[in-house]
Amino acid sequence: MSINHDILQTLVDLNVPVAFQTYSGNAKTYITFFPYLDKPEQHADDEEKITGQYIQLDIWSKEDYTSLSEQVHNKMKQAGFIKLNFYDQYEKDLKVYHKAMRYRKEEL
């Protein structure tokens, strides 16, 4: 299975749209995501044993997204994703709140 599929399955029941890279609907709150790095994390006998899949989730909202970001984080943690860092921003040109959430998942 792909990392994109894993993310979609993890966040399927949040009651907000979740889309790969871009969202073109009308929801006031939605989530986009993209993988930004795929790299070896562990080698043995000259072979890659563990791969790190690095992804960014972005919550976009016209309203307070605090509860949603907590739900997202709990689901990602339960699915085996490791938190790297989060950033809270306000996009002035779009007039929308934006939370970037970065995670890593290790795959054998």
User: How high is the pLDDT of residue 1?
Assistant: 60
CATH topology of domain 3-107: STM4215-like (3.30.2000)
Class of residue 79 by CB neighbours under 10 A (exposed 0-12, middle 13-18, buried 19+) = middle
| Residue-wise pLDDT tens digits, 39-57 | 988 889 989 898 899 999 9
User: How high is the pLDDT of residue 108?
Assistant: 77
Q: Please state, in angstroms and rounded to a whole number, the distance separating the CA atoms of residues 51 and 39.
A: 6
- Digitized pLDDT (tens) for each residue of the chain, 108 residues in all: 699 999 999 999 999 999 999 999 999 999 999 999 999 888 899 898 988 999 999 999 999 999 999 999 999 999 999 999 999 999 999 999 999 999 999 987
Contact 50, 41 (CB under 8 A): yes
Task: Check residue 23 and report its DSSP letter.
Answer: -
